[in-house]
């Protein structure tokens, strides 16, 4: 058996097809073969009348999925090869497919759900969080920009909560994931085995009636006032100034958190999220994210950010430029520049024109 063959387990339990991401030691981080395997399974189940719904979950106790395999992205960026772009092309198309899937797609967003983990869950039609859920798009901390349709999701969060999560990369619990539109239902983690067992016999909507419960309290609802005020500023510099001047300790801590991220990634992220809100469809946003990701692959901050956070783990990235003032509007615009027709990510089945 190929070493990759068991990294995604695909089974059927009664009327439910089950995808299990099976790299628990790597927090179920996605590889390219895993993305292809999921897509292959969804194709088969789409046309299988015996399958009424699909369930995705993560192996182990720590979470659904911590994201993509960023060590591989680091190595690819250093080598100047195209493996990451090839991976993103298939991953983003999978994200769009999940959003359009004709059968209920149930995501158990238990534990850590970050980056690519959001991409294979938060576009689903039934998204379940637990008291252990920690949902995030933490890309600015590695010199990258939220992708996998993350800017589409965050642009649609109430007020400016999505901009806050995009810039800070902060992880949220169940109540805040529900508030931000990243999840639909709360189910206590201890009840997940029972819920999964019942899904073999009954439609998910019927099962959820017995398992869904009110989520424990979050924090973002009480912070809406300063978040909506501060993030309404035109630039990242002005957002930071407002946060520092607001007078709430949480706002000041947020400013310090933002200033530790890649200045380039912060400015591109703000532009990408705001543009995503106007693009409309998920496909259009994924096409934009593909452009941004491919441009980011050739910038020093992505390699440096992954080095500092994952490879050497010194947590001391040396960003270039080192300050927000060093990132110009032209620098940001380059990330949104078309890649050329031969490289762009097309969605023939949907209008992906960016305008």
Residues annotated as catalytic (active site), given as ranges:
68, 116, 139, 147
Q: How far is CA 331 from CA 59, 320, 338, in A?
A: 41, 12, 14
**Residue 164, exposed/middle/buried by CB under 10 A (0-12, 13-18, 19+)?**
buried
C-beta separation of 125 from 104 below 8 A: yes
Q: In the structure encoding, which two tokens stand for residue 1, read together?
A: 């058996």
Neighbours of 351 (CB within 10 A): 10
| Secondary structure element (H or E) that encloses residue 226, with its range | helix 220-230
φ/ψ of 88, rounded to 5, equals -60, -40
Q: How far is CA 16 from CA 37, 46, 101, in A?
A: 17, 12, 14
> Smallest Cα–Cα separation from 131: which of 180, 178, 173?
173
Neighbours of 151 (CB within 10 A): 29
Q: How far is CA 74 from CA 119, 153, 288, in A?
A: 20, 26, 21
- Distance of alpha carbon 188 from alpha carbon 28, whole angstroms: 21
């Amino acid at each position: 058996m190929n070493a990759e063959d068991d990294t995604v387990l695909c089974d059927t339990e009664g009327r439910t097809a089950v995808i299990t991401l099976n790299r628990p030691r790597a927090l179920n981080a996605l590889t390219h073969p895993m993305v292809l395997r999921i897509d292959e399974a969804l194709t088969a189940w789409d046309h299988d009348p015996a399958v009424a719904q699909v369930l995705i979950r993560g192996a182990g106790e720590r979470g659904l999925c911590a994201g993509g395999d960023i060590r591989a992205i680091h190595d690819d960026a250093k080598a100047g090869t195209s493996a990451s772009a090839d991976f993103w092309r298939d991953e983003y198309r999978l994200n769009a497919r999940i959003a359009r899937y004709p059968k209920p797609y149930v995501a158990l967003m238990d534990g850590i759900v970050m980056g690519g983990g959001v991409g294979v869950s938060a576009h689903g039609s039934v998204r379940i969080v637990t008291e252990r859920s920690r949902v995030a798009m933490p890309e600015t901390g590695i010199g990258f920009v939220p992708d996998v349709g993350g800017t589409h999701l965050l642009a649609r969060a109430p007020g400016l909560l999505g901009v806050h999560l995009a810039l800070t990369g902060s992880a949220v619990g169940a109540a805040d994931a529900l508030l931000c539109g990243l999840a639909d239902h709360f189910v206590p983690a201890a009840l997940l085995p029972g819920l999964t067992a019942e899904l073999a016999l009954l439609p998910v909507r019927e099962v959820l009636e017995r398992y869904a419960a009110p989520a424990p309290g979050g924090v973002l609802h009480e912070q809406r006032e300063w978040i909506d005020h501060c993030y309404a500023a035109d630039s990242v510099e002005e957002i930071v100034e407002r946060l520092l001047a607001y007078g709430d300790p949480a706002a000041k801590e947020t400013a310090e958190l933002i200033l530790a991220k890649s200045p380039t990634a912060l400015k591109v992220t703000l532009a990408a999220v705001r543009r995503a809100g106007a693009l409309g469809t998920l496909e259009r946003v994924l096409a934009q994210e593909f452009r941004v990701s491919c441009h980011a692959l050739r910038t020093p901050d992505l390699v440096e950010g992954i080095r500092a956070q994952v490879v050497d783990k010194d947590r001391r990235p040396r960003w270039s430029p080192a300050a927000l003032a060093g990132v110009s509007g032209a620098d940001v615009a380059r990330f949104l520049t078309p890649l050329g027709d031969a490289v762009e990510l097309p969605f023939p089945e949907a209008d992906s024109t960016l305008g």
